Amino acid sequence: MKSMTTQEVQEYIKNNPEASLIDVRETEEVAAGKIPGAEHIPLGLLEFRLQDIDKSKEHIMVCRSGNRSGQATRFLEDRGYNVINMDGGMLDWEGDTE
51 CA to centre of own chain? 16
Domains of the chain, earliest start first: 3-86 (3.40.250.10)
- 14-73 pLDDT, tens digit each: 999 899 999 999 999 999 999 999 999 999 999 999 999 999 999 999 999 999 999 999
Query: Catalytic residue at 22?
Result: no
Catalytic residue among 63, 72, 86, 90: 63
**Per-residue pLDDT, 32:** 94
- For 49, the 3-state DSSP assignment is coil
Q: Which residues contact 90 (CB under 8 A, 6 or more apart)?
A: 25, 29, 33, 34, 35, 62, 63, 64, 65
pLDDT at residue 80 in the model: 97
Predicted pLDDT of residue 42: 98
pLDDT digits (tens, 9 = 90+) for 69-98: 999 999 999 999 999 999 999 999 999 999
pLDDT of residue 25: 98
Where in 1-98 does DSSP place strands (E)?
3-4, 20-23, 39-40, 58-62, 82-86
